[in-house]
Amino acid sequence: MDAHAETMTGRQRLLAAMNHQTPDRIPIDLGGNQTGIHKCAYEMLIKHLELDEEIAIIDAVQQLAKPSEAVLQRLRVDTRYIHAGAAAGFDGRIVAAERDGQRWHDLVDEFGIRWSMPDESPLYMDITHHPLADASTADVKAYPFPKGDDPTRFAGLREQALQIRNETPYAVVSGISGVVYEICWYMRGLERWFMDMIEQPEFCETLLDRTLRFWLDWFGLFLDEVGDVVDVIMIGDDIAGQRGPLFQPEFYRRVVKPRQKQLVQFIKSKTPAKVWYHTCGGCRAYIPDLLDNGIDAINPVQISADSMDPQVLKAEFGDRLTFWGGAIDSQHVLPHADVQTVRRHVRRNIELLKPGGGYVFNNVHNIQAGVPPENVLAMYDAAYEYGFYGD
């Protein structure tokens, strides 16, 4: 392993990188909703590490495990996450149901969206009910949205954040929030929503305004609670796919972007925290728009998608944008390659992305079920070994 000595705390390291200063080494991340590890991969990892742990799930839809402190320290992770909850009284239990000749595990969220996981293949939840599938614009206006500024969502959150800030050396990072665009198609259905964008954009604007209002209310109270303590805030909407934008960029810039920008600017008016934006896919065409919105970092940097070469991205945007992710091709290399190939890929991408700061190490999206624990360890150990700056 590299013999360099660390000279910064995890928090100092992360903030230096995000301010485009050179830290002692690249900051390392694990444990968020888009930077996490699937329960099956985690189970194999802790078995490999000979750790006796109960696995807690932090994201039922994606079936993500909560990494233990022992695992986070073994992987030299510099971040610790805080998560707001649902409103008190919301029944978020997963219930069993029989449907279409199958047994399902169902979760209905606060927006009325039903997420389901088949009993025979309990890997993820997918949407099986869109509550606004047949709605009119009037129906959207009348729909009972959850109350974003319900104070019970944030009970105990400040204490959690202060414990990390005052008693640990790590950066405080929020779980995912600010999902202005995606919730719309979750509620409507993707095919119907894509038709709406062409046939009745006013319907889309009405629904977007309601999701934006929810998140403005949510962030108003969230930032009152922890805006002076949290270091990084994660927001995001998937607006790109493997080959580029998922829908017409004109619609994004005319309809979606102004609402995203309003949210980012509201957040920045209430906290010095950095804003991290998540979108999968080949999002190169949207990076100038996202920077104009006011974001500081982009995740997951899907290097296997079109127009996402890390060397090109760093050259074009590296002085203004922090790349959070981009460690390795997680579709082909991380699940299937040998340990040495994993290390080579990680080293190459680190060397492209780390100069001058502006890089936080993480896999491209969550570590999926089936990724060998040897490859997980190789990825993180290579990040540490090759992540130091200078001699």
Backbone angles phi, psi at 51, to 5 degrees: -105, 135
The tally of CA atoms less than 13 A away on the side-chain side of residue 304 is 13
Q: Which residue do the tokens 């309990």 mark?
A: 122
Q: Is residue 69 part of a domain?
A: yes
CB-count exposure of residue 3 (10 Å: 0-12, 13-18, 19+): exposed
Q: Is residue 4 part of a domain?
A: no
Which tens digit of pLDDT belongs to each residue from 231-260? 999 999 999 999 999 999 999 999 999 999
Mean pLDDT over 335-361 rounds to 98
Q: Which residue do the tokens 């728009």 mark?
A: 289
Mean pLDDT over 4-13 rounds to 95
Mean pLDDT over 13-41 rounds to 98
Helix intervals (H) in the chain: 10-18, 39-48, 69-74, 137-142, 157-167, 182-188, 190-199, 201-226, 249-251, 257-270, 287-293, 310-317, 333-336, 339-353, 373-386
CB 235 within 8 A of CB 34: no
Domain count along the chain: 1
Per-residue confidence band for 4, with pLDDT thresholds at 50, 70 and 90: confident
Which tens digit of pLDDT belongs to each residue from 162-211? 999 999 999 999 999 999 999 999 999 999 999 999 999 999 999 999 99
The pLDDT, as a whole number, for residue 1 is 44
Cis, peptide link before residue 300, omega less than 30° from 0: yes
The pLDDT, as a whole number, for residue 391 is 53
Cα–Cα distance measured from residue 271 to residue 18, given in angstroms and rounded to the nearest whole number: 15
> Between 125 and 390, whose confidence is greater?
125
Per-residue confidence band for 3, with pLDDT thresholds at 50, 70 and 90: low
CB 124 within 8 A of CB 62: yes
Q: Is residue 391 part of a domain?
A: no
**CA 216, 220, 222: angle at the middle one, nearest 5?**
115
Mean pLDDT over 260-287 rounds to 98
Query: Residue 348 in 3-state DSSP?
Result: helix
Which tens digit of pLDDT belongs to each residue from 49-75? 999 999 999 999 999 999 999 999 999
Mean pLDDT over 276-304 rounds to 98
Q: Tell me if the pTM is above 0.95.
A: yes
Is residue 390 over pLDDT 90?
no
Query: Residue 103 in 3-state DSSP?
Result: strand
Chain centroid to CA 117: 21
- Residues of 297-309 as b/e, b for ≥16 C-beta within 10 angstroms? bbbbbbbebbebe
CB 246 within 8 A of CB 238: yes
Q: Is residue 179 part of a domain?
A: yes
Per-residue confidence band for 2, with pLDDT thresholds at 50, 70 and 90: very low
Q: What is the mean pLDDT of the chain?
A: 97
Q: Is residue 1 part of a domain?
A: no
Using CA atoms, how far residue 241 sits from 61, 133, 249, 282, 301, in Å, is 20, 23, 13, 6, 12
Q: Is residue 228 part of a domain?
A: yes
The single-letter code of the amino acid at 167 is E
Q: Which residues contact 391 (CB under 8 A, 6 or more apart)?
A: none
| Residue 383, both tokens | 């990040």
Q: Is residue 314 part of a domain?
A: yes
Q: Which residues contact 120 (CB under 8 A, 6 or more apart)?
A: 102, 103
CB 375 within 8 A of CB 337: yes
Which tens digit of pLDDT belongs to each residue from 101-154? 999 999 999 999 999 999 999 999 999 999 999 999 999 999 999 999 999 999
The domain in which residue 226 lies consists of: 10-386
How far apart are the two ends of the chain, measured CA to CA in Å? 14
Q: Is residue 86 part of a domain?
A: yes
The pLDDT, as a whole number, for residue 357 is 98
The CATH number of whichever domain residue 71 belongs to comes to 3.20.20.210
